[in-house]
Amino acid sequence: MDKQIKTYDVQSIELSTSFNKALKFIANPRNLPLWTSAFKKADEDSALLVTPNGELQIGLTTVVNGSGTIDWHMKMPDGAIGKAFSRLTELPNGNVVYSFVLLAPPVPIELVEGTLESQRKMLADELKNLERILTDK
């Protein structure tokens, strides 16, 4: 039986901050460079990504819904579309859980596992950065 390659990873972190503060910060694409390692610059329409092969200018759309969903659609120069999906959930203690679904990038299937594993580790670090930024002191 062939081994099925996992093409996604789901991670979450509890943030000691209010739902509104977290939503306002995460939903603003200009804040992406503050907590992610892949984004060098970002605004409402585009982003400059840092990749192992250099910098890459992409189209960027941020889709936000007031109930806590924050998704990004990234249009690559070759026309490929990458997507990232996330959600904030308010907890009874006043904190929020931020969950993130990381999808494998559009690479050949034989590269998915290694690439996804590398991105999974990067996402864990990025969520810790976000926690440091948003934790209410």
For residue 117, the model assigns a pLDDT of 81
For residue 17, the model assigns a pLDDT of 96
Residue 137 has pLDDT above 50, yes or no: no
Residue 44 has pLDDT above 60, yes or no: yes
Percent of the chain with pLDDT over 90: 64
Confidence label for 134 from pLDDT (cuts 50, 70 and 90): very high
Mean pLDDT of 41-66: 92
Residue 26 has pLDDT above 90, yes or no: yes
Architecture of domain 9-134: 2-Layer Sandwich (3.30)
Whole-model pTM: value is: 0.86
Residue 89 has pLDDT above 70, yes or no: yes
Which residues are bridge partners to 13 per DSSP? 98
Q: Which residues of 39-74 are buried (b: 16+ CB within 10 A; e: fewer)?
A: beebeeeebbbeeeeeeeebebebebeeebebbbeb
